[in-house]
A and B are shown apart, each in its own frame.
Chain A
Amino acid sequence: AQRVTQPEKLLSVFKGAPVELKCNYSYSGSPELFWYVQYSRQRLQLLLRHISRESIKGFTADLNKGETSFHLKKPFAQEEDSAMYYCALREDSGYALNFGKGTSLLVTP
């Protein structure tokens, strides 16, 4: 069952504009949520996780249990933010990460 939904395949914004990549999940327990990023010709890597509540490269994400969402936000997009972004969920009783289908972010000058 698809537990992580990323509704946008592609998101295109202008440099300096705010960006929000959406992630919704379906899980009744206490999940752990992550955002992973894959830059061109680089390995997939962890961007941030909800329990750390930190800002990485200007990105933040807040877990909203009421709306079952974990949207990724940045107030001013930069061209180097262009990448594929994946939201992922780990169940509280599990080991594996379940990834969404990904959103390709394109930041144009």
Chain B
Amino acid sequence: NAGVTQTPKFQVLKTGQSMTLQCAQDMNHEYMSWYRQDPGMGLRLIHYSVGAGITDQGEVPNGYNVSRSTTEDFPLRLLSAAPSQTSVYFCASGRQGGPNTGELFFGEGSRLTVL
């Protein structure tokens, strides 16, 4: 199993450009989420999903869109990038229900720089 795969690993954007960070998991996890990691701020939840067709906002959703059309994929879209979105982005997935609820499997991260 590949686990959680994020692409791209690195990206540089200009202010106002749009892009999509891809996330795929092959563990048949119901739950998927996106976090951003900033120095001194820790991990902050952007959006999450508990199944195909179901998404919800986290702590810092502004400027980001998500969709969940399949169990495997959970892309994160930046419609008009801003320098404040310069960060490292992590996708994570996990099971919902049962004893393993709350155990998240993380991708390697995507480092985004917005100029």
* Cα distance A102–B11 in the bound complex, in angstroms: 25
* Cα distance A30–B9 in the bound complex, in angstroms: 37
Tell whether, in the assembled complex, residue B59 and residue A101 are in contact, meaning their CB atoms are under 8 Å apart. no
For A, the interface residue count at a CB cutoff of 8 angstroms equals: 22
Q: How many A-B residue pairs have CB under 8 A?
A: 54
Q: When A and B form their complex, which 9 residue pairs have the shortest distance between CB atoms, in order from nearest?
A: A101-B42, A99-B43, A44-B106, A102-B42, A90-B102, A43-B106, A46-B103, A96-B48, A99-B42
Known: A44-B90, A46-B104, A90-B102. A95 touches B42 (CB 8 A): no
Indicate whether B75 reaches chain A with its CB closer than 8 angstroms.
Answer: no
For B, the interface residue count at a CB cutoff of 8 angstroms equals: 27
Name the segment of B17-25, B33-41, B79-87 touching the other chain.
B33-41
